[in-house]
A and B are shown apart, each in its own frame.
Chain A
């Protein structure tokens, strides 16, 4: 076999794993399918004798990918059901397919592809993307390489940004998917997620709108004064004593949790 033949055989094999109509075409007329993918006639002949095995490979690849998606997004997968999840996976494989070498990242790649489609699909629950994003948040925070950093030792200062633990994530949902209600309530929700420094477990905080706005600005690297001012603007509030007291209390709580580590160095 020449290098060109090897190239064609490998490429055709991979296409058989990804193309949505491949199973039907493999069953109907494998030699023609392979010919269309440039496979050498002699190689087509031997591959055509292993049609069932080629289909087994495809089933194994898809089953493994479907399995890791269901493992990381269990509630999402249960809502979709196996047939629909397989259809989604088939479309994902055709249009995008995983690109990361890390198997555990397949669910995130899948969701990034699926979310815009699911938002537009009236046959799916409106909360599905929020739910899937929330399920994936667990993995994202758990696996975050950042987190547990030493505190800068600098006191908070209005003119400086703050140092937050590297595992912190802010998520906004249209549904309260973090609660156990099924189906979840339609309720604009903001969640601060972080990895506890001692137990290394995921912790979640439901935030008020102004706490969420403040976190968003601080995570974006704004100085504390700017973050407070912009939070007021976002929330249509004035910087009253009540507002400042509430934000000070919130920041103190984050400090107690090991989420807020002081001023950025």
Chain B
């Protein structure tokens, strides 16, 4: 499995270490310097900033001057049935221009049909036909944005029909056909492994890690605290140690990558979020040290 040429050529130097998703609730604090020296990069969702005036554009521009910023979309609907939205892509391409040559990523999901936007990450069938169709859309997205694309594995709570391939095969096929990167969300792997009863590490072992350009980690919660039969990727709780272990497992095999701590619900005060970032950075650093040791070098 080769590293996609576009990504290796155009995204260097990508930030590494554990960054934070930039959210409106603490954007002003970051702008004021509260995260200076504490975060190697931020990630934004362009949809939260596009077509938006007021204080936000200047604030984001100032943050961009001090931190690398990666972009991760929410609304591309790579798995959607309708043609890609030309207006959305034109606006997104213009928005991304100041952010350097880094890849842009979005999710392996659909977001709606018939023009209706359901504003959630909804599952796609795991079939070879679907992998081919989505890969073509990812290529088209990269062309429209004039930059490399990466896709993220989602949490899914049911199989959308009879799978003809399993998820790792689906993802590998799509990555190869689209020649794109993977934003590997290890919390989603954990959530899916728990809900669907598979081994997360065995799953990871079948993913082409050379395609991984970034990792995501987040917290999850039970749908029903009493029954505790289904966990949901809520981004509303601290990252669990089982997810730490998956993060470390991947980093030991890939080497340095940008790792994003996502928090979208029950967002704590920034100092608390930075403390969790620090904890994850230690997990990341230890994994890199083990990788060095295994390679025969000094930790």
Contact = CB atoms under 8 A, between A and B. Distances in A.
Interface of A: 1-3, 5-7, 9-11, 13-14, 17-18, 39-40, 42-43, 45-47, 50, 52-54, 56-57, 60-61, 64-65, 68, 97-104, 106, 142-148, 167, 195, 200
In this complex, the member of A10, A13, A64, A145 whose beta carbon has the largest number of chain B beta carbons within 10 angstroms is A10
Given A56-B223, A101-B47, A101-B75, 7 more contacts: A6-B124, A46-B162, A50-B158, A57-B122, A57-B157, A68-B119, A200-B54
Interface in B87-124: 88, 110-120, 122-124
A162 B55 CA distance: 25
Given A3-B129, A6-B125, A142-B54, A98 B119 contact: yes
A144 B55 CA distance: 10
A236 to B, nearest CB: 38
B127 interface: yes
Interface string B37-52: 0000000000110111
Interface in B31-78: 47-48, 50-56, 74-75
Query: Chain B contact residues: over half helix, strand or loop, or mixed?
Result: loop
B161 A47 contact: yes
Contact of B54 (A68, A104, A144): A144
Contacts of A104: 48
6 contacts: A1-B129, A10-B113, A101-B88, A106-B119, A145-B52, A200-B54
A145 B53 contact: yes
Query: Chain A contact residues: over half helix, strand or loop, or mixed?
Result: helix
Contacts of A7: 81
A61 B118 contact: yes
A150 to B, nearest CB: 15
Contacts of B133: 3, 6
B157 A97 contact: no
A60 B74 contact: no
Which bucket holds chain B's interface residue count? Answer: 35 or more
B275 interface: no
In this complex, the member of B48, B113, B118 whose beta carbon has the largest number of chain A beta carbons within 10 angstroms is B118
Given A53-B230, A147-B54, A98 B116 contact: yes
B79 interface: yes
A40 B129 CA distance: 15
Given A6-B125, A103-B47, A53 B118 contact: no
A1 B126 CA distance: 9
B254 interface: no
Contacts of B111: 101
Contacts of B162: 1, 40, 42-43, 45-46
B19 to A, nearest CB: 22
B160 interface: yes
B206 to A, nearest CB: 21
B120 A6 contact: no
Contacts of B55: 200
Contacts of B54: 142-144, 147, 195, 200
Contact of A98 (B51, B74, B117): B117
Contacts of A40: 161-162
A193 to B, nearest CB: 13
Interface in B218-271: 223, 230, 232
A144 B112 CA distance: 26
B51 A145 contact: yes
A146 B50 CA distance: 13
Interface in B185-238: 223, 230, 232
B107 to A, nearest CB: 13
Interface in B139-190: 157-162, 164
B119 A61 contact: yes
B286 interface: no
B130 interface: yes
Contacts of B127: 1, 6
A144 B130 contact: no
Q: Which 8 A-B pairs have the closest CB atoms?
A: A43-B161, A50-B158, A101-B75, A97-B116, A53-B158, A1-B127, A145-B53, A14-B113
Contacts of B6: none
A3 B136 CA distance: 14
A50 B159 contact: yes
Contacts of B113: 10-11, 14
B29 interface: no
Given A6-B129, A14-B118, A42-B162, A56 B157 contact: yes
B122 A13 contact: yes
A50 B158 CA distance: 6
B18 to A, nearest CB: 26
B155 to A, nearest CB: 11
A5 B162 CA distance: 10
A61 B164 contact: no
Nearest to A45: B162
In this complex, the member of A14, A57, A68 whose beta carbon has the largest number of chain B beta carbons within 10 angstroms is A14
A46 B161 contact: yes
B129 A2 contact: yes
B51 A102 contact: yes
